[in-house]
Structure formats: structure tokens, C-alpha cells
A and B are shown apart, each in its own frame.
Chain A
Amino acid sequence: MAADSTRSFAIVEDQPDMCVLIRLALTRDPRLQAAGEASSADEALALLDECEPALIILDHSIEGEMMGLEAAPLLKAKAAGSKILLFTAHDMSGEAASEPAVDAFLRKDRIDQLLATAQRLLGLDPAA
């Protein structure tokens, strides 16, 4: 995969302000493009019918019956090529580590590391 190719990301987050913030943080790297946003697991699964983003930023406390961690395997099953980053304000590093569908975990208050984590997951050179 070429280091300078464009990668898309999807945001699964129920707080509009956080969606804006994540988009702002990631699109600082011009190689990253927003593919869509969803506020619940159902919406996220529907979004994957339309596209297969390289990265899914997944919150845990989302709307609907299903929480983010529960939704991760379903999302992975539908988009096997997508990396899933669990991005939540909860301390869930342990739970995230034991869920194979989750590729990385980042707590929300470390939002300044979001872009670097996304780049590392996607194999993008941060310096490029």
C-alpha cells in the first residue's frame, strides 16, 4: 500500500461536537478523508453497505441497543479490511485488548494522540 495514497475513515459517535473534533483532528493529514458518520451501531452497519473505510473511529457509549465494544465484531465482519480504533472516555484498555475486532484503543482525553494513532494503524508516515 503506497504511503501517500488517500485513506478514508468513518466516525461512530453520538456527540456531534466530538464528531466535529475527530474530523478536525484527522483531516489535518490530507491523506485522510471522512467517509461518513454514524451515531449508533445500526447506522454504522448501514454506512458500511455504502463504503469500506480504512479506519473506523468507534465510541463505546453510542445510541441504540448496542454498545461500541459489542458492535466491533459486527463491523469487522462486514468490513474485514477496516481497522477499528475504540475511542472512548471510559477506561476500557483491558476490554479493548481482549476483543480481537478492536485494533487499537485510545482514551478521549488523549485526543492530541488521535492523529498519530490513526497514522500508525494505517501505516502512514507521520512525517509525510
Chain B
Amino acid sequence: MEAALGVLRNVQTVLYVGLGVSAFWAWHRRRGPTRAWMAGTFGVLAVVTLVGLLLPDENAPRSSADWASRTVLMLIVLFPYFLFRFAASFRRRPEWVEVGALALTIVLGLSVYLFDELPRQGEAWGSAFGVWVLGFLVQWVSLSAVVAFELWRSGHGQPTVSRRRMRLLSFGSIGLALALVLAGAAGSGGGSTTSRFVVQLLSLASAPLFLLGFNPPRFLLAAWRRPELLELRSAEEVLMRAVTQSEVGERLLPHVTRIVGGKASVLVDRDGHVLGVDGVSLGDVGQLLDPTAKGHRPEEIIVIPLRSGRLVVQATPYTPYFARSETELLDTLATFTDLALSRAELSERERQTAIELHAANEAMREFVAIASHDLRTPVTVIKGFASALESDRGAISAEQRQQHLGTIRRHADHLGVIIDDLLTTSRLDAGVIEPTPTEIELGPFLRRLAIDLHPDVPVTVDVGPADLRIRVDCDHLQRMVTNYLENAFRYGEPPVTLRARLVEEFVEIAVCDEGRGVPPEFVDRAFEKFARVDKRHSKESQGTGLGLAIVRGLARASGGDAWFVPNVRDGACFALRLPVSGPS
């Protein structure tokens, strides 16, 4: 039995020293508080087992044996504290717990050196040493229990690898604490050989538990990771089937959250628009995406950059240490997500194009219908009166004849305007209108235009600065201002104002009247082709319905724009803007 005990002790030494070395190596490779505390924890164990081997035998002088034994005891006291700090590096404990643990550890560690001499094996413990052993057991068992409970409880909801690693560490802590309690219970005599064997066995069994929990071999990792790999496959399938970008977000994210055992995940496109959320409300997404938000723990946030945006996962404090490989699975998923988002974007663009084509077809159909109607009316009148003049030649008085001819001329003129407007609109749509700019003095040009258009109706022309000169296509400018003025005369009430102002490198020209204004429902479509104030509400003569569309088209062809000016209390106000230096 003694020989077996010796073998167990040697195996244990090898394992704990190996554990200590690999913990230090892990900390050396990737430094951080978690790995530092882990290295400290297992480093202490390794040192204790090594120093234990060097302990002088029972026949050695008491002074040298004392020195080694006190050092071993002091180091053993550090082990549960370091393990506790390792667990607390993920989730801080209440301050009084942390301070209490530290104080107890310092007191126990230093008090080892206060005893006159330590009892040797088989010697009776003095009462002071008995109290120390009791305190030591309380410290070890309570801290180990806190760590074991914390790791066990937090493993819930973690990916399989993390959960198993955390639970192995939890078992290891319990095993070692149990071994110590048994050793303590055996008292000064060290107990029977059997009890020492059990203690040794428990202590030895803890080593592989710690080893597997701390640094599991690859084959175990691969076996444990199967559920997460299946989750990854499901996520990839989802990505293959998703049609829209929001579908990608909605269906992918639950898998993403589960793969890393996170709390929430968000998918945003390259413009920062949220495409999907999981585990968080849309209102709280901002906080998750904002690294400066209150209560934000950057180490818990995993950001996977995508070509078409980014995938942000709120993980747990344990993820960076225990679930690094699961986080790497998300990198694999990123490529698929990018592909799915690109495909969805293309498909969305295709759908949008189809909608636009349909709308364009509808607009064209409507255009043809309205144009046909507007062309047919004057043609009908012209044909009808011409026919009446021909067939009823004898029955028609000279006065009627003049009236009929006048009607024919009026409608022929109107037909000419419609045809001209239609041709202009078509050329604007085709983009074949090229402005031919010349330099003019704007004030005299606008005044002459207003007088020529309607000599009987005064128009207030106000140009500032008065001597403003611009480079502009005069025919286009005349057409645009004429259309605005005709609308003001046709639908508005005098006085009509024509105002031009220099605004940065543009001239803004506005025509305002003081009539009934523009019906609100008409404002949005005022510049559309054939947009006219609903005839149902108007008795006024109708224009071609192309005037404003032509103004906007011509203004844009020169690098400017045309728009309705809202919030004019009485009447309507339409404006246009042209570059002073001419079309770009």
C-alpha cells in the first residue's frame, strides 16, 4: 500500500507540474488577468508538489524541515485564493467576499511563520495549530465551493466545449477540497493507510480534471463541438434559403447566438442599418452597437466584420476564455453571410427594378391614355367644325362661319402647344436637350418677357442684384418662366410677382401669385407629367399638364432644379434655380 501511495504521489507530481508549466505557457502566449490567475493557481500546485518532494525526512534537523513545511503550507493557502481570483476574473464577486478571501489568505499565510515549531507527522497538534488547520480548511473549502458553484452554474447555456470545461474545473475544485477535508479530518496522525490512499487518489483524480478543463486535447474538443457544428450547418442552410436581407438577419441570428452561447446578436449592413436582431429589442440595439454605452463590457462583445456590414454578438464573460474556437466558427459563417447578403441585395435590386419597370409601364400607359385624350379633343373639334362648314355651307350665316373658323383656329393653336410640349417632354426624357447658353442681363430679360406674355396684366419684377448677369439658354429660360407665369395667370390671382435672387453660385427665380394656392393633395405630384389640379374642383381652362414637368426638366438639364415653395399663406409660389455661370 505504501508503495502504491508512493507511485500515486509521483504520478500526481508529474501531472501537477505539467499542469503548472502548461498554465504558465498559456499565460506567456496570451497574457491577461484570467490566464495570469490560472497560471498562479496551477503554478502554486506544481511548486507545492515539487517542494513536497524536497521535504527533509523525519530524521532531518527540525529547523530545516520546519522551513520547508512552512513554505509548503503558505503556498497551499494561496491555491484556493488564486483559483477564486481566476473565477472572479470572469464575474466579480461582492467586495466583502473578495476582501474577506484576501484577508483570510494573508492571515493564514503569514501565521504559518508565527508558530514556534510545526508538529511533525504523528506529533500531537497544539491548540494554536489546530485553530490554524480549522481556518485553513474553512478557507480552502469555502473558496473552492464558491468557484465550483460559480463555474457549474455559469456553464448553463454555454456552448458544449465551454460548459464541459467549466464543469471539469468545477469537479476538480471539489475533488481537491474533498481530499483536503479528508486529510484534515485524519488529524495529526495522518490517518490510516487506506484513508491516506483515498486522499491521494482524490488529489490525483483532480489533476486530469483540471488538465482537461484547462487545456483539453484536440480530439476531445472536436467531439464536444459537434452540437455547435450542427448549429453551424443549420445556419448555413438558412443562409442558402434566405431571399431578403432581413430574412438573412432574422433566421441566421438565433443560430449565431446559440453557437457562442451568447445573450444577443445583431446584423447591420454597411450603412449601419439593422437587418436583424436576436435576444435584444430594437430599442436596445443602439446600446449593444455603441462601445461607449454605459454598462458595456467590451470583452463580451464579438464583432465579426463582413464585406456588407458587420455581425455583432453579445457573448458572456466566459466566451473569450472558454469559447474561442466557437467564436472562430462565426468567422466561417461570415463568408456565407456575406454571400447570402449579396445575393439578397441582388435579388432585392432585381425586384425593385421589376417594380420600377412596372411603374414605368403604368406611367407610360397613363401617359399614352392622357396624351391620346388631350390630342383627340382639339382634333375632334377641328374635324367637327370643318365638317360643319363643308356640309352646311348654305345654311350657315357669315357670322357663324367666322365663329366656327375662330374655334378651329383656337383648337389648332392648343393642339400645337400640346404637340410642342409632348415633343419637349420626350426630348427631356431621352436626355437629348442640350442647353446653349449665352450671357444676359437678367432684369431686363424678365421684364420684357412678362410684358410680352401678358401686356394687360402687370407683373412685379424684382431682381437682386439689379445688374445681375447670368449665362443661360435664353429659349429655355423663357419657356420655364413663361410656364410659371401662365400657371399663375390661369390658376392664381393677381398681383403676380416675378422675383430673382443670387444665392451662392445660383440664381433663384420665383413666381408667386395671391390666388387660392395649390391644393395640398396636388403638391407632391405637381411636377409630374399630366399632373393637373383635379378638374372636378376647377372650372378654369386646363393647360396641357406638362408645363411644370417641362420647367423641372429644363432646369435640371442646365444643372439646376425647380420646385414648389410651401408655406406661402396666400397664393402659390413656384421657384427654379439655375447656375449663374451656365450649365455644367
Interface centre among B369, B376, B387, B411 (most CB of A within 10 A): B376
Interface residues of A in 7-31 (CB under 8 A from B): 15, 17-18, 20-21, 24-25, 28
How many interface residues does A have (CB within 8 Å)? 22
Count CB-based A-B contacts (< 8 Å): 57
Cβ B381 vs Cβ A63 within 8 A? no
Q: Which residues of A contact B410 (CB under 8 A)?
A: 17
Interface-located stretch among A48-56, A94-102, A105-113: A105-113
B281 interface contact, C-beta 8 A: no
Question: For A65, what are the chain B residues with a Cβ–Cβ distance below 8 Å?
Answer: 536
19 contacts between A and B (CB under 8 A): A15-B377, A18-B377, A21-B380, A21-B384, A24-B385, A24-B392, A25-B384, A28-B391, A61-B535, A89-B373, A89-B376, A89-B380, A108-B376, A109-B376, A109-B380, A111-B380, A111-B383, A111-B384, A112-B387
Question: Given the complex, which residues of A lie within 8 Å of B407, measured CB to CB?
Answer: 17, 20
Closest residue of chain A to B407 (Cβ to Cβ) is A17
What distance in Å separates the Cβ of A13 from its nearest Cβ neighbour in chain B?
11
A residues less than 8 Å from B377 (CB atoms): 15, 18, 89, 108
A107 touching B376, Cβ below 8 Å: yes
B373 nearest CB neighbor, chain A only: A89
B569 close to A (CB within 8 Å) = no
Chain B residues positioned under 8 Å from A90 (CB to CB): 369, 373
- Contact residues in A for B392 (Cβ distance below 8 Å): 24, 28
Q: Tell whether A91 is near chain B: CB-to-CB under 8 Å.
A: yes
Q: Which residues of B contact A107 (CB under 8 A)?
A: 376
* CA–CA, A66 and B534, complex, Å: 12
The reply on A64 being an interface residue by CB < 8 A is: yes
Query: Would you give the shortest CB distance from A85 to chain B, in whole angstroms?
Result: 15
Q: Find the B residue at minimum CB distance from A16.
A: B407
- Do B535 and A24 have beta carbons less than 8 Å apart? no
Give the total of B residues in contact with A, Cβ under 8 Å. 22
Given contacts A21-B381, A112-B383, 19 further A-B contacts (CB under 8 A): A15-B377, A17-B381, A17-B411, A18-B381, A25-B388, A28-B391, A61-B373, A61-B535, A63-B536, A66-B536, A89-B376, A89-B380, A90-B369, A91-B369, A91-B372, A108-B376, A111-B380, A111-B384, A112-B387
Alpha-carbon distance A12/B207, docked complex (angstroms): 103
Which residue of chain B has its CB nearest to the CB of A61?
A: B535
Q: Known: A17-B407, A18-B380. Is A24-B388 also a contact (CB below 8 A)?
A: yes
Instruction: Across the A-B interface, give the 3 residue pairs with the lowest CB-CB distance, nearest first.
Output: A21-B384, A89-B376, A108-B380
Determine the chain A residues whose CB is within 8 A of the CB of B385 once the complex forms.
17, 21, 24
Interface residues of B in 364-409 (CB under 8 A from A): 369, 372-374, 376-377, 379-381, 383-385, 387-388, 391-392, 407
- B393 CB to nearest A CB, Å: 13
A-to-B contact residues, CB < 8 Å: 15, 17-18, 20-21, 24-25, 28, 61, 63-67, 89-91, 107-109, 111-112
Q: Is the interface of A mostly helix, strand, loop or mixed?
A: mixed
* Cα-based distance from A111 to B387 in the complex (angstroms): 10
Q: For the complex, give the distance between the alpha carbons of A42 and B411 in Å.
A: 28
Chain B interface helix/strand/loop/mixed: helix
Q: Which residue of B lies closest to A25 (CB)?
A: B384
B273 within 8 A of A: no
B539 is an interface residue with CB less than 8 A from chain A: yes
Shortest C-beta distance, A91 to chain B (Å), equals: 7
Residue of chain A at shortest CB distance from B377: A89
Chain A, Cβ-Cβ closest to B381? A17
Residue in chain B with minimal CB distance to A22: B384
Alpha-carbon distance A20/B396, docked complex (angstroms): 13
Q: Are B373 and A24 in contact (CB under 8 A)?
A: no
Q: Which residue of B lies closest to A18 (CB)?
A: B381
User: Which residues of A lie under 8 Å from residue B369 when comparing CB positions?
Assistant: 90-91
- CA–CA, A112 to B384, complex, Å? 7
Q: Which residues of B contact A67 (CB under 8 A)?
A: 536
A91 to B373, CA, bound (A): 8
B388 to chain A: closest residue by CB: A24
Contact A109 B383 (CB under 8 A): yes
Which B residues are CB-close (under 8 A) to A63? 535-536, 539
Q: Which of chain B's residues have a CB closer than 8 A to the CB of A20?
A: 407
A100 → B minimal CB distance (Å): 24
Give the distance in Å from the alpha carbon of A61 to the alpha carbon of B542 in the complex: 12
Which residue of B is nearest A60, CB measured? Answer: B373
Contacts of B539 in A (CB 8 A): 63
Instruction: Give bound CA distance, A109 to B392, whole Å.
Output: 20
Q: What CA separation (Å) do A89 and B377 show in the bound complex?
A: 6
**Alpha-carbon distance between A93 and B385 when the two chains are bound, in angstroms:** 25
